[in-house]
Structure 1
Amino acid sequence: MNEQIHNPAQQKSAEKLLVVSPAPHIHSGDSISKNMLGVIIALIPAYLVALYFFGLGALIVSITAVISCMLFEYLIQRFLFRSKSVTIGDGSAILTGLLLSFNLPSNLPVWMVVLGALVAIGIGKMSFGGLGNNPFNPALVGRVFLLISFPVQMTSWPRPIPMNMQYLDAETGPTVLAMIKNHFGQLPETTDMLIGNMGGSLGEVSAIALLIGLAYMLIRKIITWHIPVSILFTVFAFTGILYLVNPETYASPLVHLLTGGLLLGAIFMATDYVTSPMSKVGMIIYGIGIGIITVVIRVFGAYPEGVSFAILIMNAFTPLINAYIKPKRFGEKIKK
């Protein structure tokens, strides 16, 4: 028999005890715009290095990519979706533009940069419903589209010239991975690979700058270590075995870690919240898969670089990983 509560104060207190709200019960203070800003800040060291070595070209490509991504997202939401709420203020379009430019050579024609931004936003992001619904990293969708459509322009890498004020007329040369793939040319010194004094896309040349960005995001808890460490460790172990088997044919694991888009992909592309697994175990499996596919393409495939393809392939497996690798549920009855 239930006892009736006649005291209004006691009744009000009892009603409060019966209120149940859905999780999460504690707000961490994070937001989309805050996390996007954190990643953009982490990209600043690599961007400054790109401006120093590629000069005017880096500035034109990056500004074009960012403005184009913001413009296309606004136009699609405002006129195609006829949505009253436009999300360009959350920083995701800016980040997509920056990451796209980081995956492009500094002498790429402006119209190709605009086309890549259209594919990244229009196909890679908005065609699936916008931020949070896209299964693939939008910046990589744009980059791979340009690589397949314009392979010559996307593989003509300007040589790094401090404070270079040239754009389309810059002298070009092969990347380190292209030298390894075709067995020609003298590889740059380790110091040059660390600081970024070598050919490549805007954001892949300076290992030190990218690692500074990684440290910043780990300290601010924007990302966890599971994805970047699992990718880098897998590549190091796989290429290390190949190097031990035949050091004359295969490059050392240090070269593989410091060149190409490996650090850029592992730190900034593969860790995308939307397209990566949710559980820690799932992140490690995801990272190992990216590392293996990257090495297979680099060593045995037709392209000298495979990070972009590896991340997109593992993006497709993310829903499957999330379905089978789930965190333990508290209060769940264990079947015997």
Structure 2
Amino acid sequence: MDKLLNVSSSPHVRSCETTHSIMLDVAIAMLPASAFGVYHFGLHALGVLLVTVAVCMLSEYIYEKLMHKPNTISDCSALVTGMILALNMPPEIPLWIPALGGVFAIIVVKQLYGGLGQNFMNPALAARCFLLISFAGKMTNFSYAGFDGISGATPLAALKSGSSVDLPAMFVGTIPGTIGEVSVVALLVGAAYLLIKRVISIRIPAAYILTVAVFAALFGGHGFDISYIAAHLCGGGLIFGAFFMATDYVTSPITPKGQIAFGILLGVLTGLFRIFGGSAEGVSYAIIIGNILVPLIEKATLPRAFGKEGRSL
């Protein structure tokens, strides 16, 4: 009798990873880009980061307190939302705008849909799109008193207008842009951390980046121009979006084939917005639209159940 097996309900395979540990890893991975953004843009960028994170966490605490729901501040999801939103802000943005975005992200996009795991789109990106629509002028003003007095349009905006861009500066990050998108080096360090810790898979970022490169080569009007393609890959927050936003567990497909399809969809949408649209960016809107289509992607890519009865002819 002592050799009888115990029968229990699923899940039978468990992981030591928790929501807290995963979100903390994502926050740690964004520290290099955050540090470079503060170094490059100055103390106001630090203020944007601190205010946005504080408002996101406070919004979650107050809402759950008022609704008599369990407190989830400790899972660090509000921290990650605040950091992503702040890193998507222009460096000289008035502090009340990202604060308003933090309230929108946590309460409207996340909590009103049931909290973490129930939101159908990335809260930080939804808030950024809300702010882009509401305060277009301030959200697209990338002038700042930075390195050597650099100011003006982002490299992708210059590229779209036919001007040349400085690729080494784009890679290092000494360019105008949002706080967290400018330094490809810092973003890749954080991405490597996430991949090494196995917090994310390479499927979505690889499919996304490769699709943008192919789209730019086919429809950009410059053919297979390495400099032109590299500018598209290094600019406009593509690296930030591919590794830190498109890979969000809640709003991305769970199937391997679905993740590849999702990445390709994001790449096509980003290419359409950048090359044929009026904006030079496109990453935020591409990911938001992709989030909405995730249920359809999962439905089409779910593996067929073993032994499922086929259709009768």
SS at match of 2:14: coil
Contact 1:176-1:199 within 8 A present in 2 as well: yes
Residue of structure 1 in register with 2:208 after alignment:
231
Segments of 5+ residues of structure 2 without an aligned counterpart are none
Q: Structure 2 counterpart of 1:192, which letter?
A: A
User: Mapping of 1:283-294 within 5 angstroms?
Assistant: 283-294=259-270
Contact 1:53-1:160 within 8 A present in 2 as well: no
Structure 1 or 2, whichever has the larger Rg, is 1
1:220 to 193, 197, 222: 197
1:332 to 304, 307, 311: 307
Q: State how far apart, in whole Å, the 1-side matches of 2:139 and 2:19 are.
A: 31
Q: Structure 2 counterpart of 1:70, which letter?
A: M
Residue of structure 1 in register with 2:90 after alignment:
105
Contact 1:278-1:322 within 8 A present in 2 as well: yes
Residue of structure 2 in register with 1:82 after alignment:
68
Residue of structure 1 in register with 2:165 after alignment:
187
User: Mapping of 1:1-336 within 5 angstroms?
Assistant: 10=1, 13-14=3-4, 17=5, 19-79=6-66, 81-83=67-69, 85-159=70-144, 161-162=146-147, 172-184=151-163, 186-188=164-166, 190-243=167-220, 245-246=221-222, 252-327=228-303, 329=305, 331-333=306-308, 335=310
TM-score by length of 2: 0.94
Q: State how far apart, in whole Å, the 2-side matches of 1:262 and 1:334 are.
A: 43
Contact 2:85-2:102 within 8 A present in 1 as well: yes
| Cα drift, residue 117 of structure 1 | 0.5
Contact 1:160-1:199 within 8 A present in 2 as well: no
| Cα drift, residue 323 of structure 1 | 1.6
Q: State how far apart, in whole Å, the 2-side matches of 1:234 and 1:247 are.
A: 15
SS at match of 1:241: helix
CA deviation profile, 1:14-53 (whole Å, cap 9, x unmatched): 4xx2x32222212220100000011111111111110110
Question: Percent same amino acid at aligned positions?
Answer: 41
Q: State how far apart, in whole Å, the 1-side matches of 2:145 and 2:187 are.
A: 17
TM-score by length of 1: 0.87
Contact 1:210-1:263 within 8 A present in 2 as well: yes
SS at match of 2:86: helix
